[in-house]
Amino acid sequence: MTSDDSGRIATPLSSKMKHKILIGDCRQVMKNLPPASVHLIVTSPPYNVGIGYGKWTDDLPIEEYLELTRTWLTEAYRILADGGKLCVNLPADDPNSILFEHFNIMKQLGFRLVCNIAWVKWDWSRAGKFAISKWKLDKFRYHSMNRGLLSAYESVLVMQKNHATLKGRSDLKYEEFRDWKYNVWLISPLKDRAHPAPYPMELPRRLIKLYSLPGQNVLDPFLGSGTTMKACMELGRNSIGIELNPDYVEMLKRQLGYGSLEIENAEQMTSAFRQQQAEFYRHFRIP
């Protein structure tokens, strides 16, 4: 809770925030967002490794996948405020090297690297401490010089739009910065598999507190199970999520609360609808 100058208890910041889900393909939906309207983007795009996402099949030819990547990253750069951050969770060593492909495209678009965080998938309950499935361990029983090592981490690329600084008062506590200041984070993966590729709440929570300020606007263009939006609700940030699969949106309604979300089908946009969008996004203005 916060207090005003008279000492009265004011409304908690988190209850004043707006949270909006747009249903559709992020490549098209992001084109309708105003330029410089978002302070932070936190997301984990499809890895193109054959995971089923309902309406989306995650096994595109690599050229098509990279074109998709360039399209949404181009829009990400446009809608970020000067000094805004882009945090993208990616596999560290997949066969198509999409981590490096994303980084190359980001650099070409004008992003600069802030840091590369290693999210180590830690599990205190296991003897080896790393959260690696048993079938992978069994498959890796014998060493071959032609085979890489077991991957126990994923990367989070933190990129920035130009060298500007977002102004405002941070809510990051000293104890949090002390615990998070190294670029290696030991965080257990999420075990609830309502979505085929979720990440744990702790990951976006840290990124949001480190790279945005209370009351600012956070976007997840691949919303999925809604972890980024849920973290924004708890931390007093506005949030916008884009999701292609309406089934996941129904799941989010149940998990996050019907009354806390605004939901629109981006495929049904008309000129009148776009005008309503413009009115809504006046709330998401950059100071």
The model's pLDDT over 18-38, given as tens digits with 9 standing for 90+, comes to 999 999 999 999 999 999 999
Q: Give the chain's domain count.
A: 1
pTM over cut 0.75: yes
Counting residues of the chain whose pLDDT is more than 70, the rounded percentage is 72
pLDDT score of 272: 41
Structure token pair of residue 277:
């969008």
Residue 6 forms part of a structural domain: no
Residue 2 forms part of a structural domain: no
Count Cβ atoms within 10 A of the Cβ of residue 287 and give its class: 0-12 exposed, 13-18 middle, 19 or more buried. exposed
pLDDT score of 214: 96
The alpha-carbon radius of gyration of the chain (Å, integer) is 19
Cβ atoms 39, 217 nearer than 8 A: yes
Dihedral of CA 287/160/198/174: which sign? negative
How high is the mean pLDDT of the chain?
Answer: 81
Boundaries of domain holding 242: 19-284
Spatial separation of the C-alpha atoms in residues 229 and 239, rounded to whole Å = 6
Spatial separation of the C-alpha atoms in residues 287 and 284, rounded to whole Å = 9
Ranking 42-56, 58-72, 115-129, 272-286 by mean pLDDT, the lowest is: 272-286
CATH number of the domain to which 179 belongs: 3.40.50.150
Residue 245, pLDDT above cutoff 50: yes
Residue 74, pLDDT above cutoff 80: yes
Residue 13 forms part of a structural domain: no
pLDDT score of 131: 56
Residue 5 forms part of a structural domain: no
Spatial separation of the C-alpha atoms in residues 32 and 55, rounded to whole Å = 22
Residue 220, pLDDT above cutoff 60: yes
DSSP structure class, residue 182 = S
Over residues 202-227, the mean pLDDT reads 96
Please name the residue that has the structure tokens 């690696």. Answer: 132
Residue 91 forms part of a structural domain: yes
Q: What ranges in the chain are assigned the alpha helix state H?
A: 13-16, 26-29, 62-79, 98-109, 134-139, 174-180, 202-211, 227-235, 246-256, 271-281
Over residues 131-158, the mean pLDDT reads 70
Residue 192 forms part of a structural domain: yes
Residue 3 forms part of a structural domain: no
